[in-house]
Structure 1
Amino acid sequence: MEVFFDPSGLEPDAAYIRVVRYSERREWPVRGGVNIAPGVAALDFEAPFNVEATYRAQMFTATGASIGWTEASTTVLEYAGTIVHQPLDPTSWVTVDVMPGSVSPLTRPEEGTLVQTEGRDVGVWIGSGRRGLRGVGVSLQTRSIAEADAFRDLQGSYAVRQIGTVCIRTSSTIRWPRTFFARGDFAENDRTIRFGGTKVTFDARVDEVEPPFPGLAVPLLTYGDLDAAYATYAERDAAYPTYTDMDRDYSLAGLAD
């Protein structure tokens, strides 16, 4: 989901903005939308499927003083299916099928201690409030060997180190969060490969976790991509009315690879 606030709609003194998304009764800082300059677009790779998402931006002066919020804009990202991706590298992703093993009790524990105090017939609960989901059964199936390899690499490979957190987004009616950040050790299970097929399932008990700091993001479009698309700076500058238009030409993403 591209999130773009036209500079003409911002306060004149706005030196940078912070973009947030409101979805499923939660507020999410948009990855890649933290302290960005006016005229810069953010790509929300964590937007939930088929539910309302409302975006606003908080504006700040060069000295860091807040000067208010933009108007809110609400949209729906329509998609049928399930995608798992690496939060710090959204180019590392795979489509999967949610399997019946994912239908299990969803538990959000409240951690604390029951204390028996003098003079009371019943105990006193001293707790810290409900936590995120714990021990969620997740069973996901890939349809090809390439997809199985991609899923395995989401949490790191022998050559590339990654954080263990994954982001699961699904249109399934299963009652996971629509943007589900999960941590678990997925076991790879051969379903049909030994019989000449291509299907593999990945099963785990996962815990819901906080996403990585949203200021950390891998850009989809790089200057290397632009350099690969145009032989000279003059050609590149002539192709776009403004630098903002150039920075939003995602059709060139990946050309430098």
Structure 2
Amino acid sequence: MVDVVDGGNATSTFTDTLDGGNAFTIYGPGLVPVPSMDPVPHVEITLDTVVPGTVTATLYRIQDDRTMRVRGLVNVPAAGGFGGIDTEPPLQQTVSYRAEYFDVNGVSLGFGETSDTYVDYAGTVIHQPIDPSRGVSVLLAQGAAKTLSRPFEGEVIKPIGRSVPVYIGTGRSGLEDINVDCVTFTAEDAARMSSVFGGYDGDEQLPVVCFRSSLPTGLPAVMFMVVPKPAAEPYAYAGGEEAVMWRLSGQEVAPPVEGIVRPLLAYSSLENAYATYADIEGAYLTYLDAETDFDLAGA
């Protein structure tokens, strides 16, 4: 029996959104976790039912009581369904997803149902949020994230006529003075870590990285941190000439704008997989089928 909150059709699946009695079932996202460096652990997402009248949609990821918009799936065209890849899910923790739907005027039509998944990847991954193809799996150094500090921002003042000072603050900041020193063991992984921060001749990247780990570090499950001075040094104790110790220190910041990303599955992926546009049309029944052919991601 579904609760009715709007006096409408009792078969409505909208239990917490006023929907005018629409009995159309809005299922949660279809989720496929990919626990491998392909190029980073991710979740493939498909939504094939939307609220009638939907023009655009935004997908949200919910974990540890924190709600974040999924990168690349913000205000996307959604009439008939939509899909994409979340390259920033937490590792070895249950995570939930749900979509919010909007009409042609940008007015919210409510949320669909929630779906859960679990990315069973053991390890620590650092990648460039704007370009998830730039990522690497690392070994955290001993003492990494040993001390965690979230200071309060404010000052103590002494008003005239008061014998005891008054604290005036603006709340707590994110984590500061974070140390996530780590090791790569091969020349290939060292190159991947270097690419996270970019190079020369137009290969500029943000100093903000996405950090995820299955280890009990005490850090947020999905943390964005600015690393203004990444440094590399030989790591002789690893028993190999290619091992590198990466000195990564910085502070927690908000993620880069979630609408900006270099997609793993783009139209160019279809162009590279098929000889002609007619071949593309013949391979898929709907645009959604093409948009969610995740086997072509990275092509």
Alpha-carbon displacement from aligned partner over 1:95-145 (angstroms, at most 9, x marks no partner): 111111304210000011111234444321101111100001111111111
Residue 199 (1) aligns with residue 239 (2)? no
Residue 62 (1) aligns with residue 108 (2)? no
**Sequence identity percentage:** 36
The answer to whether the 8 Å contact 2:84/2:292 transfers is no
Q: CA deviation at 1:244?
A: 1.4
Flag structure 1 segments of 5+ consecutive residues without an equivalent: none
- What does residue 82 of structure 1 align with? 124
Find the residue that maps to 2:148 and give its secondary structure.
coil
The answer to whether the 8 Å contact 1:82/1:96 transfers is yes
- What does residue 246 of structure 1 align with? 290
- What does residue 257 of structure 2 align with? 213
The answer to whether the 8 Å contact 1:187/1:204 transfers is yes
Change (3 A) 1:193 1:228: farther
Q: CA deviation at 1:195?
A: 7.6
Change (3 A) 1:76 1:194: closer
2:51 aligned partner, one-letter code:
E
- What does residue 6 of structure 2 align with? none
TM-score with structure 1 length normalisation? 0.92
- What does residue 8 of structure 2 align with? none
Residue 30 (1) aligns with residue 74 (2)? no
- What does residue 173 of structure 1 align with? 216
Flag structure 2 segments of 5+ consecutive residues without an equivalent: 1-42
Change (3 A) 1:240 1:16: same
- What does residue 47 of structure 1 align with? 89
Q: CA deviation at 1:20?
A: 1.0
Find the residue that maps to 1:101 and give its secondary structure.
coil
The answer to whether the 8 Å contact 2:145/2:218 transfers is no
Q: CA deviation at 1:155?
A: 1.3
Change (3 A) 1:113 1:249: same
Query: Alignment partner for residue 231 of structure 1, among 275, 280, 288?
Result: 275
* Matched length: 253
Alpha-carbon displacement from aligned partner over 1:147-197 (angstroms, at most 9, x marks no partner): 111111211111301111000111011111111101122210111399852
Distance 2:47 2:298 in 1: 25
Q: CA deviation at 1:85?
A: 0.6
2:285 aligned partner, one-letter code:
P
